[in-house]
Amino acid sequence: MRRMLVVLVTAAATVLALGGCGGGGNPLKGGGGGGGSSTTITVGSANFPENSLLAEIYAQALEAKGVKVTRKFNIGTREAYIPALKDGSIDLLPEYTGNLLSYLKEGKVPGNNLSADKVYTDTKAALPSNLELLDKASAEDKDAITVSQATASKYNLKSIADLKSHASTLTIGGPPEFEKRFAGLVGLKDLYGLKFKQFKKLDTAGPITVKALKDGNVDAADLFTTDPAVAANNFLALQDPKQLFLAQNVTPLINKKKADGKVTSALDAISAKLTTDELKGLVKQVVTDKKDPATVAKTWLTQKGITK
C-alpha cells in the first residue's frame, strides 16, 4: 500500500508540473506560440524634450497597431541608454545617426564630407550585433556651437573656425558628456585647434544652457538646430566647415528581437513622413507653447494618416 501511495503521489505531481508548463503558467510570461512578450515594446528616450516627444510618437504609433508598450523616458545620455538597449532593459529609442556613430566609434570618426546616407550605413555597420537601425527620417537635428549676436559681432564670427584666435579667452557650455566626446571639446581641439578658457557643465541643450548663453555666463554653447530658443533669442549657430557634427538624421534604434514586421512598418511609416521643418514645429509646441507631448504626438500622427 505504501509503495502504491508513493506511485500515485508522484503521478499527481507530474500531471501538475506538466500543467504548469503549458497554458496554465504565469500569464505575464505569455504561453506557447510566441504571443505576449514578443509583442511588448519598452520605449525609452534620452533626457531632453525632443527625444521624449519622438519616443511618444513611436509609442503611440505602435499602440495603434495593437502592440503593448511600456514607456521609460528621460533615461539620460548614451552612456546610460545604450547599455539599457543592449541588456534588454529597453527595446526601442529615437536616435540621431552622426552622434550615435561618434559614440560607437569612441571618437574616431572622420569629420569631413560624409553624406547622410554614408553616415547612416556606417552607423548600421558599427552597431552591436543585437541592435538594429530602421529607416532614417529626412528630419535632422544637429548639435551646433551657438553664440549670441553680441559675441558674433564682437569677434566677427560666422563659423567655428573663426573662434581659433579667441577661444583661449572664452567660456563654452554644454552637457557634462560634451567635455569628453569627440563630437564635443575633443573634436573642437582636434579638428579646429580650439582650446577654451573654461568649460561649464550645463544641461542637454535645455533652458539652463539657453539662459547661460542669454545672460553671458558662457560665450558659446552646444545647442540643437531644432531648438526654438535659437531663433527666439536671435542666437547664431556657427557654420561647421570641418563637419565635426556629422549628419544626425532621426532614426529608430531597436533590439533586433523586437523588430518584427508589425513594429518595423509602424516605425518606418513615421520616418517616411517626418521632416526637419515638421520636427522644429513639433518641438516648438512642446518647449515654447508648453503643450502636452502626448497630445502633440497624437495630433501629428493623425494628421499624417499614420493613426486614426
Q: Of 237, 257, 274, which marks where a domain is finished?
A: 237
Is residue 119 domain-shared with residue 187, that is, in the same domain? no
Distance, CA of 44 to CA of 69 (rounded, Å): 10
Residue 28 lies in a domain: no
* Residue 126 identity: A
Q: Do 150 and 272 lie in a common domain?
A: no
Q: In this structure, are 43 and 105 located in the same domain?
A: yes
The answer on 295 and 152 residing in a single domain is no
> Angle formed by the axes of helices 78-87 and 97-104, to 10°?
80
Task: Give me the pLDDT at residue 43, please.
Answer: 98
Distance between CA atoms of residues 14 and 124, nearest Å: 49
295 plus 165 within the same structural domain: no
Residues 200 and 268 in one domain: no
CATH number, domain with residue 77 = 3.40.190.10
**Residue 239, φ and ψ in degrees, nearest 5:** -65, 155
Let me know if residue 233 belongs to a domain: yes
pLDDT score for 113: 61
- Structure confidence at residue 106 (pLDDT): 73
Alpha carbon distance 150, 152 (integer Å): 5
Residue 114's pLDDT is what?
80
Instruction: Clarify whether residues 136 and 48 are in a common domain.
Output: yes
What's residue 13's pLDDT?
38
Look at residue 27 and tell me if it is in a domain.
no
pLDDT in tens, the chain (308 residues): 433 433 333 443 333 333 333 333 332 233 333 333 357 999 999 999 999 999 999 999 999 999 999 999 999 999 999 999 999 999 999 999 999 998 998 766 655 568 999 999 999 999 999 999 999 999 999 999 999 999 999 999 999 999 999 999 999 999 999 999 988 999 999 999 999 999 999 999 999 999 999 999 999 999 999 999 999 999 999 999 998 999 999 999 999 999 999 999 999 999 999 999 999 999 999 999 999 999 999 999 999 999 99
Domain CATH number, residue 188: 3.40.190.120
Adjacency order of strands within the sheet including 143-147: 198-201, 171-174, 220-224, 143-147, 236-237
- How far is C-alpha 110 from the chain's CA centre? 22
- How many separate domains does the chain show? 2
Note whether 150 and 271 are same-domain residues: no
CA distance 300 to 274: 10
- Quick one: angle between helices 49-64 and 261-273, nearest 10? 130
| 108: in domain | yes
For cell 556613430, name the residue: 101
For residue 32, being part of any structural domain is answered with no
Asked if the structure places residue 75 within a domain, the reply is yes
Helix axes 116-126, 97-104, angle to 10 degrees: 40
User: Do both 128 and 277 map to the same domain?
Assistant: yes
The whole-number pLDDT of residue 274 equals 98
Domain of residue 225 covers 143-237
Same structural domain, 285 and 149: no
- d(CA 168, CA 164) in angstroms, rounded, equals 8
In a domain, 16, yes or no: no
How far is residue 236's CA from residue 247's CA, in Å, rounded to a whole number?
A: 19
Measured between alpha carbons, how far apart are the two ends of the chain, in Å?
68
Whether 133 and 45 share a structural domain: yes
Q: Are residues 49 and 133 in the same domain?
A: yes
pLDDT score for 39: 74
Rg (CA), the chain: 24
| Res 28: pLDDT | 28
Instruction: Judge whether 296 lies within some domain.
Output: yes
